């Protein structure tokens, strides 16, 4: 048989070296053996079904001295890339709860070790496979002996018989040969290695024990060498003594039983008395009212210096009432004490509530009487409630005890606090708002209107507007109101969870940060917060109205600021503050809508039965207004885009109505005004999507008006030519091109007469077309582009006319009369263009 790795001293030294490299304290390797590590897979009924690929490992049983105690470990070592052993896992022997031999392995060489301190019991433990069953038994016996010697017990053993293991250990214990001296001379003795030390220890007798044995033998008149005779005599006396003892026990059995029964009753009675005394001591502890607590509860002061004693007394009273209610005592025995506690509770709650109802108004009155707490002429004072909250926090624990003792007493306290603080906040807001209006440098703005001379309304740069005052008001008071709402909810003992703002929180949640546990509690808190902050909205409304009167466009900035607080800080806004901001946003939108309606009304006033010459005044004024409105945008631009949509729509509708006053000049009015709209809004349309949409709409309307007007001018000057072409097109619906020259008025002779009359004096006709365009257009900057469009349209129409004629009169095409007339027309157009330019 191959030599076991347990006897490999080189392996043992390698294990010690690997452990010392990682551990500070020295450990002794008792046994180490090479094993194969596998991991089982849980099958049905929690059994290990199979294992993964095995990995080479070394299991080492080590010990470490810790003072007078010895600790044992099971270490797993693995081979590094360089073939050196290094620690991979360590298990404490004291946590070993099970040793199991895997039944699926028919060789019986695979086992697993179960430890009760592993974090995840759902993961199958590693399996260890030995080379043979002897190595397995040798390692497991070492582990079991360690547990018994050091821990005093062995773990649960599954899959193998302990008796068989003990027999194996007895048969396979290493032996050593020793020489023993006898009368016949020295002989060899085979003694187990484990038994040799015990035998030697048993053979050794001290000098005092040897003297005692000699004295004992002397009493029996037996020499020390007569061991057999002494042994026989001792056996006889032992039998005699055992017989006498059995007889005596049988005679006194009833007496012993009686004595034992009485002792058991006395012991039970003694234990019961001790337990009763302990319970009575505990009962007396919480039933007896300490004098210092009774003094604080019934007549103590509520000044800040005495609040520590008052809180201690409240803690004791609350605990005593809870203990009395939770006890299993008969109510008859504690009825008087319960009544005493109730009276004490009512007395204390009444005194504390009365003190706080008077304390809150006095604290607020002190702040109201100090003018330094409010804004004054020439000086804005930001509200500071830090000192007030600090003083209130002194009584926070007292309010909590009042809630636990008698929750109904909180309602008047909350009302008193809300009423008092409401007076302070409203005065702070009123003084702050008045000083903002008085100290503002904003003057009444010359907002571009749609009435009066256009030159009077020029866009200006915004430096200081009335919206700045509103921004300061919002910036200072909205965070203050949010903080006061949050402080009130916590201070007045509402069921507020831990501070945890989230995007999913309800916008109507009245707590600045947190959630309310009860729907009923939520309703009460909403009502209290309304009492706390009601009335402050009037100062915000007054500031908004003042800013609107100075500059209606300031509504754009105010709306952006309000929307930013509503959307960006939604999770931090108390419910009533959110309602306030919502109302402000609605009021600002209504005021701005009123301004937009006034502007639309002024635009509609241009609709009258008078011919409009040139560009209507409201188009350049709108560009000035739009440029000014863009400067006010601060955040969302929804309000401005809605205004653009409404105003421009009214502008276009009104323009169409104005143009219809004189049908002869409809297209001229439209093209001039749509061109002016594009020219004035070109820069803004590149950056404002809403204006870009209307810019393109105006561009399309301009092109359509240009096309209609140019076609009209061309038709007026070449009426016969295009009437002849139209008549040909109508005849082609009913007959072939070859039949048309035979119709009345459509012969070649008629065609030549028409062509001669239409194209004779072509240069004069072209010049007349230009003068016609020039006469009707008031915006001279449009004339060059309009004339270019006119020339291109005429040439396109004439080319179409030539194609049509070539089908009806083929002999007249080519380089004949028509070609000559076409080349002549092109030359005239070019020459006329040079003259015009």
Write the DSSP string, 299-368.
H---SGGGHHHHHHHHHHHHHHHHHHHHS-S-HHHHHHHHHHHHHHHHHHHHHHHHHHHHHHHHHHHHHH
* Spatial separation of the C-alpha atoms in residues 537 and 415, rounded to whole Å: 20
* Spatial separation of the C-alpha atoms in residues 450 and 625, rounded to whole Å: 9
At 515 the pLDDT is 52
Q: Are the CB atoms for 69 and 123 separated by under 8 Å?
A: no
What's the distance, Cα to Cα, between the start and end of the chain in Å? Answer: 122
Q: What are phi and psi of 508, to 5 degrees?
A: -90, 10
At 212 the pLDDT is 65
pLDDT per residue as tens digits for the range 399-438:
888 888 888 888 899 999 999 999 999 989 888 888 888 8
At 750 the pLDDT is 73
Q: For the chain, what is the mean pLDDT?
A: 77
If one counts every other C-beta atom within 10 angstroms of the C-beta of residue 657, the result is 13
Query: Average pLDDT in the 124-152 region?
Result: 88
Q: Are the CB atoms for 18 and 89 separated by under 8 Å?
A: no
Query: Average pLDDT in the 19-32 region?
Result: 84
Q: Which residue has the higher pLDDT, 450 or 267?
A: 267
At 754 the pLDDT is 75
| Chain centre distance of CA 226 | 96
For every residue of 17-32, DSSP letters joined together read: HHHHHH-SS--EEEEE
pLDDT per residue as tens digits for the range 182-196:
444 544 444 444 443
| Cross-strand pairs, 100 | 112, 158
Query: Average pLDDT in the 21-43 region?
Result: 80
Q: pTM value?
A: 0.57
At 278 the pLDDT is 85
- DSSP state letter for 151: I
For every residue of 475-506, DSSP letters joined together read: HHHHHHHHHHHHHHHHHTT--B--S---TTS-
Q: For the CA atoms of 662, 668, 673, 674, what is the dihedral angle to 10 degrees?
A: 120
* Spatial separation of the C-alpha atoms in residues 52 and 126, rounded to whole Å: 10
Query: Average pLDDT in the 253-270 region?
Result: 82
- DSSP state letter for 664: G
Which residue, chain included where needed, has tokens 């020029």?
A: 458
| Cross-strand pairs, 58 | 34, 77
* Spatial separation of the C-alpha atoms in residues 39 and 128, rounded to whole Å: 9
**Sequence-distant (≥ 6) Cβ neighbours of residue 165 within 8 angstroms:** 137, 140, 141, 144
Helices 762-776, 817-836: crossing angle, 10 deg rounding: 40
| Helix residue ranges, H only, 369-465 | 386-393, 396-405, 410-439
At 509 the pLDDT is 47
* Spatial separation of the C-alpha atoms in residues 463 and 249, rounded to whole Å: 118
pLDDT tops 90 at residue 589: yes
Give the pLDDT band of residue 828 (cuts 50, 70, 90): very low
Which domains are present in the chain?
Answer: 6-42+52-172 (2.30.29.90)
pLDDT tops 70 at residue 714: yes
At 59 the pLDDT is 93
Burial track 300-323 (b if 16+ CB lie within 10 A, e otherwise): bebeeeebebbbebbebbeebbee
At 522 the pLDDT is 79
For every residue of 171-206, DSSP letters joined together read: HTS-EEEEEEEETTEEEEEEEEHHHHHHHHHHH---
If one counts every other C-beta atom within 10 angstroms of the C-beta of residue 45, the result is 5
> Encoding tokens for residue 271?
């234990």
> Encoding tokens for residue 161?
């018989």
Q: Which residue has the higher pLDDT, 324 or 628?
A: 628
Helices 554-568, 537-550: crossing angle, 10 deg rounding: 140
Q: Are the CB atoms for 609 and 543 separated by under 8 Å?
A: no
Angle, CA 359 vertex, CA 401 and CA 433 arms, to 5°: 115
Q: Which residue has the higher pLDDT, 239 or 631?
A: 631
Q: Are the CB atoms for 90 and 76 separated by under 8 Å?
A: yes
Query: Average pLDDT in the 768-785 region?
Result: 74
At 221 the pLDDT is 56
Give the pLDDT band of residue 591 (cuts 50, 70, 90): very high
Q: Which residue has the higher pLDDT, 263 or 460?
A: 263
Which residue, chain included where needed, has tokens 């490999």?
A: 8
């Amino acid at each position: 048989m191959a030599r076991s790795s347990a006897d490999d001293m080189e392996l043992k030294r390698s294990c010690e070296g690997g452990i010392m490299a990682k551990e500070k304290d020295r450990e002794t390797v008792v046994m180490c053996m090479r094993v194969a590590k596998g991991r089982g897979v849980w099958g049905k009924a929690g059994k290990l079904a199979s294992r993964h690929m095995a990995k080479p490992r070394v299991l080492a049983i080590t010990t470490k001295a810790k003072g007078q105690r010895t600790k044992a470990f099971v270490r797993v070592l693995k081979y590094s890339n360089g073939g050196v052993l290094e620690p991979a896992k360590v298990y404490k022997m004291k946590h070993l709860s099970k040793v199991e031999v895997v039944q699926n392995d028919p060789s019986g060489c695979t086992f697993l070790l179960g430890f009760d301190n592993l974090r995840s019991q759902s993961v199958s433990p590693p399996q260890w496979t030995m080379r043979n069953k002897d190595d397995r038994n040798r390692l497991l016996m070492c582990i079991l002996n360690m547990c018994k010697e050091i821990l005093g017990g062995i773990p649960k053993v599954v899959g193998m018989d302990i008796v068989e293991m003990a027999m194996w250990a007895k048969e396979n214990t290493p032996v050593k040969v020793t020489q023993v001296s006898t009368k016949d001379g020295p002989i060899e003795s085979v003694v187990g290695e484990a038994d040799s030390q015990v035998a030697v220890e048993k053979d050794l007798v001290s000098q005092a024990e040897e003297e005692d044995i000699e004295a004992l033998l002397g009493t029996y008149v037996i020499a020390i060498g007569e061991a057999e005779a002494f042994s026989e005599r001792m056996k006889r006396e032992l039998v005699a003594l055992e017989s006498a003892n059995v007889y005596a026990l049988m005679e006194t059995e009833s007496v012993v039983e009686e004595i034992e029964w009485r002792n058991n009753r006395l012991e039970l009675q003694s234990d019961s008395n001790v337990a009763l005394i302990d319970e009575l001591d505990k009962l007396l502890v919480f039933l007896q009212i300490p004098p210092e607590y009774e003094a604080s509860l019934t007549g103590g002061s509520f000044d800040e210096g005495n609040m520590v004693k008052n809180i201690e007394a409240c803690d004791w009273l609350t605990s005593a009432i809870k203990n009395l209610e939770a006890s299993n005592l008969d109510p008859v025995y504690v009825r008087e004490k319960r009544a005493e506690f109730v009276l004490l509770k009512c007395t204390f709650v009444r005194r504390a509530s009365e003190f706080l109802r008077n304390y809150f108004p006095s604290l607020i009155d002190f702040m109201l009487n100090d003018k330094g707490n409010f804004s004054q002429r020439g000086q804005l004072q930001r509200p500071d409630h830090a000192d007030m909250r600090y003083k209130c926090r002194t009584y926070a624990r007292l309010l909590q005890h009042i809630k636990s003792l008698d929750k109904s007493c909180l309602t008047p306290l909350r009302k008193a606090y809300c009423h008092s603080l409401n007076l302070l906040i409203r005065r702070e807001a009123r003084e702050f708002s008045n000083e903002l209006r008085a100290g503002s440098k904003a003057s009444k703005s010359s907002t571009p209107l749609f009435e009066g001379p256009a030159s009077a309304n020029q866009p200006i740069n915004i430096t200081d507007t009335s919206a700045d005052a509103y921004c300061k008001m919002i910036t200072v008071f909205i965070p203050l109101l949010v903080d006061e709402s949050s402080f009130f909810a916590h201070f007045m003992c509402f069921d507020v969870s831990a501070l945890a703002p989230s995007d999913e929180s309800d916008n109507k949640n009245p707590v600045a940060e947190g959630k309310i546990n009860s729907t009923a509690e939520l309703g009460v808190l909403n009502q209290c917060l309304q009492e706390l902050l009601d009335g402050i909205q009037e100062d915000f409304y007054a500031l908004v109205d003042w800013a609107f009167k100075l500059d209606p466009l300031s509504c754009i900035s105010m709306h952006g600021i309000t929307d930013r607080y509503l959307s960006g800080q939604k999770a931090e806004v108390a419910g009533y503050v959110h309602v306030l901001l919502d109302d402000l946003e609605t009021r600002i939108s209504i005021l701005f809508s009123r301004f937009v309606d006034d502007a639309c009304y002024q635009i509609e006033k241009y609709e009258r039965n008078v011919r409009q010459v040139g560009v209507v005044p409201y188009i350049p004024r709108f560009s000035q207004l739009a440029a000014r409105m863009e400067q006010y945008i601060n955040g969302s631009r929804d309000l401005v885009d809605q205004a653009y949509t409404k105003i421009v729509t009214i502008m276009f509708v009104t323009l169409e109505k104005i143009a219809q006053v004189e049908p002869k000049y409809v297209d001229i009015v439209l093209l001039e005004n749509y061109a002016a709209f594009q020219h004035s809004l070109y820069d803004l349309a590149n950056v404002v999507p809403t204006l870009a949409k209307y810019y393109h709409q105006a561009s399309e309307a301009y092109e359509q008006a240009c096309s209609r007007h140019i076609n009209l001018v061309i038709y007026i000057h070449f009426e016969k030519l295009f009437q002849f072409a139209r008549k040909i097109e109508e005849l082609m619906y009913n007959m072939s091109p070859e039949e048309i020259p035979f119709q009345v008025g459509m012969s070649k002779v008629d065609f030549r007469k028409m062509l001669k009359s239409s194209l004779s004096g072509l240069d004069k006709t072209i010049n007349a077309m230009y003068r016609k365009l020039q006469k009707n257009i008031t915006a001279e900057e449009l004339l060059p582009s309009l004339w270019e469009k006119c020339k291109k349209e005429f040439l396109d129409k004439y080319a179409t006319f030539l194609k049509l004629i070539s089908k009806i009169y083929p002999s007249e095409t080519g380089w004949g009369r028509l070609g000559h007339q076409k080349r002549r027309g092109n030359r005239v157009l070019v020459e006329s263009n040079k003259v015009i330019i």
